[in-house]
Amino acid sequence: MKKRFVTLPNLLSLSRVVFLPLMVFLVLRGYHGWFLLSFIVIGSTDFFDGFIARRFNMVTDLGKALDSTVDVFFYVATAWFFYRLHPEFLQGVNFYMLIVFFSLFALSFIVSFIFCGKPIMMHTFLLRLNGVLVYFLILFSYFTNTTYFVTAIVAIYIIGIIEEMIIFVRFGQVDSDTPTLFSLIQKETKERIP
């Protein structure tokens, strides 16, 4: 049976990239309310694309790769949005932690290329959790000081990216939806025991 390339989950994933220029325009023109509304709608597609794909058996390797590729653009754009809208929350330690995060983020693609033959972005539990946290960070930052929330999110991202790189080094290419390093170790241990 041939899998369809044009599916609702894939279209939802693509919408995050297609509407990025509109969101950039809204931020640059100072339409912060419209930006917030568009971010709520467009950012929610990151949840719904995977949910619909799993619920209606539309999960494909293409869909996973598309979601990961789109996520890279959307997450980098979100960091820029946050910097433009709320630079006061990125001062001091948070600024340096972001540099460390983006350095490790770039390094993770190099490590995956070396150990898996291609750049891969995992969807581990920590990285999925942070996707949700960043979504709420943008929302909460309109109403309250989120300096410490930023610190926590970046710290979790750093741990998640390190976990991702350890997975690549130790196990090579695995399913990008692998929940944790420990789940792989546990699976490996069970397979060794007769």
User: For residues 35 and 27, is the Cβ–Cβ distance under 8 A?
Assistant: yes
Among 62, 66, 43, 80, smallest CA distance to 2 is for: 62
Count of CB atoms within 10 A of residue 75's CB?
20
Q: What is the pLDDT of residues 36-76, one digit of tens each?
A: 999 999 999 988 998 998 899 888 888 888 888 998 899 89
User: For residues 36 and 137, is the Cβ–Cβ distance under 8 A?
Assistant: no
Report the alpha-carbon angle 49-29-23, nearest 5. 10
Domain extent at residue 15 = 1-85
Report the pLDDT value the prediction gives residue 1, as an integer from 0 to 100.
40
User: Are 184 and 149 members of one domain?
Assistant: yes
* Residue ranges of the chain with per-residue pLDDT less than 50: 1-2
Query: Which of residues 30, 58, 85 is at a domain's end?
Result: 85
Among 29, 19, 37, smallest CA distance to 138 is for: 37
User: Are 191 and 153 members of one domain?
Assistant: yes
What is the rounded end-to-end Cα distance, in angstroms, of the chain? 36
Report the pLDDT value the prediction gives residue 4, as an integer from 0 to 100.
72
Report the pLDDT value the prediction gives residue 3, as an integer from 0 to 100.
62
The overall pTM is greater than 0.85: yes
User: Are 191 and 105 members of one domain?
Assistant: yes
